[in-house]
Chains A and B, each alone.
Chain A
């Protein structure tokens, strides 16, 4: 995945919940954004990192990057597609 320049418009922490609520939190946060805005979702390693990127792609959004925070969590960077 090529590094694209982006600025994060909103962040959500989904490390306090388990699947599928991780995706639900991401989805709720995405619904508040406008087309083209960028969301960072903080996820625990394991199931959330497996599932959430695929689920947001299925909804038509664009996954830009998955950043390893080095503490067992990842930041998933998503561009919202659609209104």
Chain B
């Protein structure tokens, strides 16, 4: 595949980098990334991956754009209110980079469809806002042997970690089980500072890019936390657990399953 002059210009700031170069840019153009959730985290991740020329981007979300989303979900605009989030996200991505392919999945990601959904992708970004979905995505990615980026944001705090099969812990190694429904407030109830999605979602895009080009060190084996009020990033080393229910030596989870959602979540 030869680059056109326009592609050389579009991706020039990438190709100039020793760590990317022509080979890395071609890898990006051949890569397939699935983003689950077109919200605070998924918005910046999707925009940066589209801009980077990631050849195929899948985006899954069942919701429609609400005016209360616009304070942080920068992939959607005021005229998009009422439109499906995946369609709105697709339009924004293609406006930045018409060369890429965007696959939309307007559905909740559940045990019955998650394996099929992730099967075609090289890397998965968890941009969801609830624990049942996070555990589901973790279990599915572990079972399918897919790398993924976990992240969560609330108030002025954010966290992320990266799972790569065979390298370090999975999300369940670290958190074991979801908290009981309603024990932890969602960001709808607790609030979240808009730029937090920008910080953490962009870091998720960065992890995806590094995984694809095969350069640098990923957040495998550690959880990164960010506190915007104290302006502190922390990197906490975490081991793989041999007794993990999904990736341990005697795993008891052999297929994905759904946890009960907090009552308000699916409305």
Distance A16 CA – B13 CA, assembled complex (angstroms): 18
Report yes or no: B12 in contact with A21, Cβ–Cβ below 8 A: yes
Per the 8 Å Cβ criterion, residues 9-41 of A in contact with B are 16-17, 20-21, 23-25, 27-28, 31
Distance A25 CA – B15 CA, assembled complex (angstroms): 10
Report yes or no: B22 in contact with A21, Cβ–Cβ below 8 A: no
- Give the size category of B's interface with A: 10 to 19
Determine the residue in chain A with the shortest Cβ distance to B26: A31
Q: Is B112 part of the binding interface, using a Cβ–Cβ cutoff of 8 Å?
A: no
Q: Is B255 part of the binding interface, using a Cβ–Cβ cutoff of 8 Å?
A: no
> Contact string, B18-47, partner A, CB cutoff 8 A, digits 1/0?
100111000000000000000000000000
Q: Is the interface of A mostly helix, strand, loop or mixed?
A: helix
Distance A27 CA – B21 CA, assembled complex (angstroms): 8
| Given A20-B16, A21-B12: A31 and B22 interface contact (C-beta under 8 Å) | yes
Q: Is B219 part of the binding interface, using a Cβ–Cβ cutoff of 8 Å?
A: no
Shortest Cβ-Cβ A-B pairs, 10 listed? A31-B22, A24-B12, A24-B15, A24-B8, A28-B22, A21-B9, A21-B12, A21-B8, A20-B12, A20-B16
- Some 29 contacts from A to B, beta carbons below 8 A apart, are A16-B5, A17-B5, A17-B8, A17-B9, A20-B12, A20-B13, A20-B16, A21-B5, A21-B8, A21-B9, A21-B12, A23-B16, A24-B8, A24-B9, A24-B15, A24-B16, A25-B8, A27-B15, A27-B16, A27-B21, A27-B22, A28-B3, A28-B8, A28-B15, A28-B22, A31-B22, A31-B23, A55-B16, A59-B18
